[in-house]
């Protein structure tokens, strides 16, 4: 057992002054289990007791280069000396926008904000303002942040309340979300060609947007079936629906141009956050000029900290690094080695499984049947065995989420040696789980 001699007293204090001792519900593991972190460097983190972990959580995605990356920190240090918040445009902000437009295929205009939640909230409003329609399609198990409209049928909603695949019921993620909002949300199973076509044909006059995680960053990184994103693109084109890719997890991670480049489908709008800042808070939403033109022309967007100097300096440094060398392509090669290696170990242990996701944001599921959406995962995946393996791995100092819905994230600092070490420890963790 890893020691908690220092972590526990800190967490006991946290429980007194912070609700559940955490600043995001997803971080809470229990009163005597929740980790307390002290620092991170490269692909590693250390908890308050000094326990060292190879980190595959990476803050749930934002760390694309490595923790405390010196190049990014240096840029931030320089920028904060100049002041950070002016309620005015800066040249740095323009430079970051120009870089994004250059890197992301089909991106014409954007606005900055601070979190993924804000980015998806604004993108949805822009789509509504542009189409003068109010409903939107979202896919079950997809997570788009913490604003009310998108907190239906997420990976944390009860599948038992979701009704049949043919007529899905929108399910709030929890209390406090007005029931009437469900009238605006059309939840559908992902990767189901027919379900989405039926919904669009029935209700297109009311549907402003389709909000899509192009691969499921909150469901083990599951990827779209061949032709599925193209099918969605065609439906959106045919029925005047704004296609929004939520690239908060995939942007500047799968490829420099994000999922739209990786899957070669260009949405009308997309949202970015996480990897854009390598851990600093920065987000953006944008896409086609004709749609983004409604912003400021009757459609609201604002934010005191939007495009603040700290965020912009971090983003510029990240984008420069990604442009100057093939960071993400190289990462995908190491990620593929990890994925294949874990697959072989699971094969050798006779554990039926499905390797999932893009190498830079991957996962695996313990299942005899092929899983293609959230309902399948909740039905077929053996979460207990997964938790045992990942629990064993954590004890050896390799940390990925013990819930398969959250993918394994990789960063530039995951070297070949770190991948090898992970595979050794993974083999031990699997053997211990089935012995």
Instruction: Report the 10 Å Cβ neighbour count for 306.
Output: 21
Question: What's the Rg (C-alpha) of the chain?
Answer: 21
Residue among 69, 192, 246, 268 flagged as catalytic:
246
Instruction: Report the 10 Å Cβ neighbour count for 418.
Output: 20
Spell out the alpha helix ranges (H) of 364-415.
374-380, 383-395
Question: Which of residues 117, 153, 270, 308 is near ligand PLP by CB under 6 A?
Answer: 117
For residues 194 to 213, the per-residue mask of contacts with ligand PLP, x marking binding by CB under 6 A and - elsewhere, is: -------------------x
Q: Smallest gap, in angstroms, from Cβ of residue 40 to ligand PLP? A: 18
Q: Smallest gap, in angstroms, from Cβ of residue 8 to ligand PLP? A: 27
Residue among 274, 288, 316, 339 flagged as catalytic:
274
Query: What letter would DSSP give residue 55?
Result: E
Q: How far apart are CA 41 and CA 53, in angstroms?
A: 11
Q: Which residue has the tokens 């007005």?
A: 178
Nearest-5° Cα angle at 255, 321 to 401: 95
For residues 22 to 61, the per-residue mask of contacts with ligand PLP, x marking binding by CB under 6 A and - elsewhere, is: --------------------------------------x-
For residues 128 to 157, the per-residue mask of contacts with ligand PLP, x marking binding by CB under 6 A and - elsewhere, is: ---------------xxx------------
Query: What letter would DSSP give residue 154?
Result: B
Nearest-5° Cα angle at 362, 356 to 365: 45
Taking CB under 6 A as the rule, does residue 412 contact ligand PLP?
no
Taking CB under 6 A as the rule, does residue 305 contact ligand PLP?
no
Contact 124, 299 (CB under 8 A): no
> Closer to ligand PLP at the Cβ: 53 or 143?
143
For residues 259 to 278, the per-residue mask of contacts with ligand PLP, x marking binding by CB under 6 A and - elsewhere, is: --------------x-----
Contact 90, 307 (CB under 8 A): yes
Residue number of the CB atom closest to ligand PLP: 116
**Which range touches ligand PLP (CB under 6 A), out of 9-17, 63-71, 176-184, 246-254?**
246-254
208: helix, coil or strand? strand
Here the contacts of 344-347 (C-beta below 8 Å, separation 24 or greater) are 345/423, 345/426, 345/427, 345/430, 346/430
> Closer to ligand PLP at the Cβ: 124 or 430?
124
> Closer to ligand PLP at the Cβ: 248 or 413?
248
Contact 119, 147 (CB under 8 A): no
Our answer to whether residue 246 is catalytic in this structure is yes
Q: Smallest gap, in angstroms, from Cβ of residue 198 to ligand PLP? A: 25
Give the interface with ligand PLP as residue ranges (CB under 6 A): 60, 115-117, 120, 143-145, 213, 217-218, 246, 248-249, 273
Which residues form the catalytic set? 143, 246, 274
């Amino acid at each position: 057992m890893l020691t908690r001699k220092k972590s526990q007293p800190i967490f006991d204090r946290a429980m007194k002054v912070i609700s559940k001792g955490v600043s995001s519900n997803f971080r809470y593991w229990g009163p005597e289990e929740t980790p307390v972190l002290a620092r991170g460097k490269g692909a590693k983190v250390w908890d308050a007791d000094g326990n060292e972990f190879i980190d595959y959580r990476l803050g749930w995605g934002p760390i694309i280069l490595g923790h405390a990356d010196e190049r990014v920190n240096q840029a931030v240090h320089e920028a904060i000396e100049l002041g950070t918040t002016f309620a005015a445009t800066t040249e740095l902000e323009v430079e970051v926008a120009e870089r994004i437009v250059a890197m992301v295929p089909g991106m014409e205009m954007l606005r900055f904000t601070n979190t993924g939640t804000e980015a998806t909230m604004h993108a949805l409003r822009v789509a509504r303002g542009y189409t003068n329609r109010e409903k939107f399609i979202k896919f079950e198990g997809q997570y788009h942040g913490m604003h009310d409209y998108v907190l239906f049928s997420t990976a944390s909603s009860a599948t038992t309340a979701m009704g049949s695949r043919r007529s899905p019921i929108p399910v709030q993620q929890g209390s406090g979300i007005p029931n009437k909002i469900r009238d605006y949300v059309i939840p559908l199973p992902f990767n189901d060609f027919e379900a989405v076509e039926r919904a669009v044909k029935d209700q297109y006059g009311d549907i402003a947007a389709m909000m899509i995680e192009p691969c499921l960053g909150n469901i083990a990184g599951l990827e779209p079936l061949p032709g599925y994103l193209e099918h969605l693109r065609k439906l959106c084109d045919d029925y005047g629906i704004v296609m929004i890719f939520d690239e908060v997890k995939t942007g500047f991670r799968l490829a420099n141009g994000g999922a739209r480049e990786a899957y070669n489908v260009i949405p009308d709008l997309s949202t970015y956050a996480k990897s854009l800042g390598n851990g600093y808070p920065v987000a953006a939403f944008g896409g086609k000029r004709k749609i983004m033109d409604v912003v400021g022309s009757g459609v609201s967007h604002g934010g005191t900290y939007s495009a603040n100097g700290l965020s912009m300096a971090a983003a510029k440094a990240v984008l420069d690094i990604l442009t100057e060398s093939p960071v993400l392509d190289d990462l995908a090669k190491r990620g593929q080695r990890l994925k294949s290696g874990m697959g072989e170990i699971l094969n050798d242990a006779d554990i039926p499984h499905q390797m999932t996701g893009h190498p830079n944001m991957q996962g695996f599921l313990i299942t005899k049947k092929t899983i293609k959406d959230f309902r399948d995962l909740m039905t077929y995946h053996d979460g207990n065995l997964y938790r045992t393996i990942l629990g064993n791995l954590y004890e050896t100092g390799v940390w990925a989420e013990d819930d398969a819905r959250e993918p394994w994230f990789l960063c530039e600092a995951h070297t070949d040696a770190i991948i090898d070490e992970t595979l050794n420890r993974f083999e031990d963790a699997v053997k211990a789980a089935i012995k």
